[in-house]
């Protein structure tokens, strides 16, 4: 079923896009609807899967470097394996199936160009079974969105001996050993 937006829903979404931390009181003043009315609308948008309020990161403010990797993958079985492998990778900010001569797109970031290059060479998706061709496009400047949902791990106690979801072990990685990469933990 397609969700029907009315003017109030659209205004709430516009306000939250501008500032996801707006209070119900601030929104109700601008929309002329009670706090409980705004709360019900936000809850309905959230439960329907249309809206998710979350903390996002600014890659440029964090001095991260990013790229888009276009992959031509042999078939759906290999596409599914690659998607599963990078679903929880802390350096992936985007995975999308696309309709093109390439059929999978992955957004990847690193702490520096050298770090990004090391990650792409050592544990990047271009090395995966079933990948026929790949193309890497470096991102020089994000215009929008400025903030992206990253799942960066800040934990210090992860076990580097474990095999990550991508199939690699950080402890065996040359960049990790040389302290050029902090690993996926």
Instruction: Report the distance separating Cα 135 and Cα 146, nearest Å.
Output: 24
My answer on whether 41 and 85 are in the same domain is no
| Same structural domain, 75 and 38 | no
Is the overall model pTM greater than 0.75, yes or no?
Answer: yes
Look up the domain containing 39 and give its range: 7-47
Tokens of 155: 């934990």
Spatial distance between the Cα atoms of 37 and 50, rounded to a whole number of angstroms: 18
Residue 153 is predicted with a pLDDT of 60
Q: For residue 55, tell me if it sits in a domain.
A: no
Are residues 71 and 117 both part of a single domain?
Answer: yes
The pLDDT of residue 35 is above 70: yes
pLDDT interval class at 18 (50, 70, 90): confident
Two tokens, residue 157: 């106690």
What domain count does the chain have? 2
């Amino acid at each position: 079923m397609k969700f029907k937006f009315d003017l109030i829903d659209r205004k709430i979404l516009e306000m939250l896009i501008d500032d996801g931390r707006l209070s119900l009181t601030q929104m109700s003043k601008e929309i002329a609807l009670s706090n409980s009315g705004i709360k019900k609308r936000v809850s309905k948008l959230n439960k329907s899967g249309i809206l998710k309020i979350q903390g996002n990161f600014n890659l440029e403010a964090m001095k991260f470097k990013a790229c888009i990797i276009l992959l031509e993958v042999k078939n759906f079985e290999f596409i599914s394996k690659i998607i599963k492998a990078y679903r929880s990778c802390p350096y992936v900010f985007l995975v999308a199936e696309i309709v093109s001569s390439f059929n999978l797109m992955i957004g990847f970031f690193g702490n520096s160009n050298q770090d990004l290059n090391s990650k792409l060479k050592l544990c990047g998706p271009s090395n995966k079974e079933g990948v026929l061709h790949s193309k890497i496009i470096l991102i020089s400047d994000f215009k929008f969105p400025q903030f992206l949902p990253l799942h960066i791990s800040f934990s210090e106690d992860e076990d580097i001996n474990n095999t990550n979801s991508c199939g690699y072990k950080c402890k065996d990685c040359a960049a990790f050993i040389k302290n050029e990469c902090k690993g996926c933990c």
